[in-house]
Structures are given as C-alpha cells and as structure tokens.
Chain A
Amino acid sequence: MIHVSTTVNGDAREFLCDPRETLLDVLRDRLELTGAKEGCGTGDCGACTVVLDGRPVCSCLVLAAEAQGHEIGTVEGVSDGEDLHPLQRKFIEHAALQCGICTPGILVAAKALLERDPDPSETEVRYWLAGNLCRCTGYDKIVRAVLDAASEMREAT
C-alpha cells in the first residue's frame, strides 16, 4: 500500500491505496466522495471528471498515487457552502439534467472552462464538453445553461 497526502476541495486528506487504484476509486471508496461517477473506466465518458491542479481530468485515468502533493477538486467542492455556483443554479433552471449521472462531471468541466474563458461561444462550449457524454438531453439545454451561467457571471464582475 502507498501512503498519499493530498488536498481535496481545499481539505488536507491522507489515504493508503494499492498502486493499481485510481484516483476515482479512492475518491469514491476511501474518501466517501461519490459525486464523481464511473461511467466507463477508460476516459471515454467524462462522468468521473475532477480538476487536478486546476485542469479537468478523468479521475479514472489518474492513479491515486499520482495525487501526492497535488490539489484535487470534485463536484462536492463546486458550490460555496450552501451557495450554489451559478452553473449549478442554471443547470436546474434550464432543466439541463434529466437522469443526472453526467451532471457532476459536466459541472466540474464547465467550471474549468469559465475560469479560463468567461465568454465562450456555443461551439467552444460544445468542443470543451465533447468528452462529457450525456445520453438524455441531446446537450441542447446543457449548452444553454453553460452560456447563461457565463453571461450571469460576466455581469456579476
């Protein structure tokens, strides 16, 4: 077993893991953060998206041991306490989720987009989120929610 010290959603966390365990395994099974979902385990669906030092990654394609000394952000850290992030509010308002299994990964990825580009085009949103599969919505309401959240965030600053 490997001993790992890392930061998750701003909190210092430590865990022991098998070298084969992924970051997703550890988040879900050892740190009780089940917001990241395993849809494929091979980096093709994006349901397990977390940010690693500010960049969205598939946590199924990161070894837990690689988290040593890095900063991880999950969907559980997207809201500021009880205050939902604008993306979270807009997803509810626009009915941008049906089943909700892809939602955590999409929110984490979309938040990373808006931190880089506060005014993305529809096409940029679609390509940024191309690695986050959604089977329910046809993406229409997801893209609208992201664009509307971006607009609201720009007005707020």
Chain B
Amino acid sequence: MRYHTPSSFEDASAIAAAATGVTRFLAGGTDVLVQLRSDLVTPDDLIDIKQIAGVRDITRRDDGSWRIGAAVSGAELAEHEALIAEWPGVVEALELIGSTQIQARCTLAGNLCNGSPAADSVPAMIAAGATVNVVGPEGTREIAVEDVPTGPGMTSLRPGEVVSAVNLPARGESGGDAYLRFIPRTEMDIAVVGAGVSLSRDGDTITAARVALGAVAPTVLLVEEAGAALVGSALDDMALAALAKAAEAACRPISDKRGTVEFRTHVAGVLARRAARIAYDRAGV
C-alpha cells in the first residue's frame, strides 16, 4: 500500500486517475481503516486529503449557503454554533455516528462516499438539499447528494474523482430540519432505519418539505411523496399519517442481522413522523 499526502484536490485526483489498483481516499478513516484492518479492502494507493488547504473549513457564503470542507469532522461540525442554528438536523445526523472517538474523525464526505444505505448523515443531507463539489480529471462538477450513492458501497463518482466539499443551501426564514435513527442500543450501532426531514413554514403551514430515508433500500431514498404529504398542512394527524404511509410505501428494505423488512418498514413511518414534528417545531422558532 502506498500512502499519499497531496496538497491539492487536483493532485489527489491525478494520483487516483493514474493508479491502476485499488484506490481509496482517506479523510477520517473510520470506514477505510476498518475495511483495511478487517482485510476487506487493502488499497494499493491510499490518498490522504487532510493536508489540502481548506479541507477543514466551514464557510458561510454571502447568500447564506454553506461550504463544509471534505475533512471537517463530526466534532468540529458539532462545535459550530452558527451552523447548528441553521442546520441542526444535518449536524445531529453526523454527530450520531459512532462514539466520541469516531466523532473526532468521521466526515460528511466520507459518510457519503462509503456508499452505505445506512449512513446517518446522508438522509439529513438529502433532506436539506445538499450538494457536493467533485474534483476529477475532467475538471470540477457539483452533484446533488441523492445522486451520489448508486448501491451498497457504490457511488456515481468516476475514476479519479474526489469530493472536495459539501454545500448546504441557505436555510431561509422559518425553516427547520431533523434527523432520527433507530438503533437497538443508545449509541454505537449502525442505523436500522434513518429518517431526515427538512421543511419550511409560513405561519403554521408547511410550504416546502423534503423527506429522506436511510437503511430501507439499496441507497438512501429521497421520498418525494412523503414531502408532498406535508406541504400545505399544519402537520396535523392526517398529514402525519399520510407522511408515514408514503414513507412506508417507499421502503424496499432487506431482512438482515440488524432488522427485518417488516420492522424497517414500520419504523420508517414512525421515525418520519417523529422527525417531522421536530423539524416543524424548529421551523417555528
């Protein structure tokens, strides 16, 4: 295994593009190093992006949108009060991953690029309408987060492409987001189901809503029907029931060691409702 520490994303991309064997980018390493240790994936080239300038910066642009560097850790995100005030759901989603120790290392970009359908931060990012900046051999592009995962462990990133930053849109007035997951313990588990909700209110009425579900399909799902079920409502019981129904209808889970099809489907509806309530309350503040 060769260990590289490029000083720009262009260099990182060039190393990856030229590599012929197994290549991995290293940000927090909380997935890559587990796979290495477990003999699941031993990269021929490991490209550490943490020495690239700006990778740990959190920036609020003039238009109110955010740029979060690819190596910003969960702990750093969770200490950023201005970001928490605007996007608490995204922050809490990343913060739920692993332990305090994992928080010091794990990143939004890594969580996304690992391609797990159970990735906690991904439903929250999708609900938020987040995008990622990608640097590749053919230049840079911006992709919606929901377009990155294509299957368990797989992404739409092309050979040599690397995520350089995550973008969150401007929160705007009267908006709120939330993420909830179900795990058997209180910490340290992989999500059995995850639900992210982001919505905007005009008074009591929901004017826009996005709902994303994790661990209920081969990729994290953006469930447009679930968002639509909320729009125009004041989150009354009927809207919540319609939300749950739409969430359940979107589920295409598997039964595995962490949960059954029935359980995941049922809990997806429960969590979507609970997350919607939190997001709604946050939007009203």
Is A–B contact present in the complex under a CB 8 A cutoff?
Answer: yes
| B interface residue count range (under 10 / 10 to 19 / 20 to 34 / 35 or more) | 20 to 34
CA distance A58 to B259 in the complex (A): 28
B1:A43 contact, CB within 8 angstroms? no
CA distance A112 to B104 in the complex (A): 12
B29:A63 contact, CB within 8 angstroms? yes
Among A61, A65, A131, point to the contact of B34 (Cβ < 8 A).
A61
Chain B residues with Cβ below 8 Å from A130 are: 99-100, 186-188
Interface string of A108-123 (1 = CB under 8 A from B): 0100110000000000
Q: In this assembly, does A20 line the interface, its C-beta being within 8 Å of a C-beta of chain B?
A: yes
Known: A19-B3, A19-B46, A130-B188. A58 touches B101 (CB 8 A): yes
**Smallest Cβ-Cβ distance to A58: which chain B residue:** B101
Distance in Å: Cβ of A60 to nearest Cβ of chain B? 7
CA distance A56 to B75 in the complex (A): 10
B48:A66 contact, CB within 8 angstroms? yes
A22:B33 contact, CB within 8 angstroms? yes
Q: In this assembly, does A49 line the interface, its C-beta being within 8 Å of a C-beta of chain B?
A: yes
Q: In this assembly, does A42 line the interface, its C-beta being within 8 Å of a C-beta of chain B?
A: yes
Among A52, A63, A127, point to the contact of B104 (Cβ < 8 A).
A52
CA distance A20 to B41 in the complex (A): 12
Interface string of A57-72 (1 = CB under 8 A from B): 1101111011000000
Residues from 10 to 36 in B contacting A, C-beta threshold 8 Å:
26, 29-30, 33-34, 36
Q: In this assembly, does B231 line the interface, its C-beta being within 8 Å of a C-beta of chain A?
A: no
A63:B100 contact, CB within 8 angstroms? no
B102:A20 contact, CB within 8 angstroms? no
Q: In this assembly, does A46 line the interface, its C-beta being within 8 Å of a C-beta of chain B?
A: yes
**Smallest Cβ-Cβ distance to B79: which chain A residue:** A116
Q: In this assembly, does A2 line the interface, its C-beta being within 8 Å of a C-beta of chain B?
A: yes
Using CB atoms and an 8 Å cutoff, list the residues of chain A in contact with chain B: 2, 19-20, 22, 41-44, 46, 49, 52, 55-58, 60-63, 65-66, 109, 112-113, 127-132
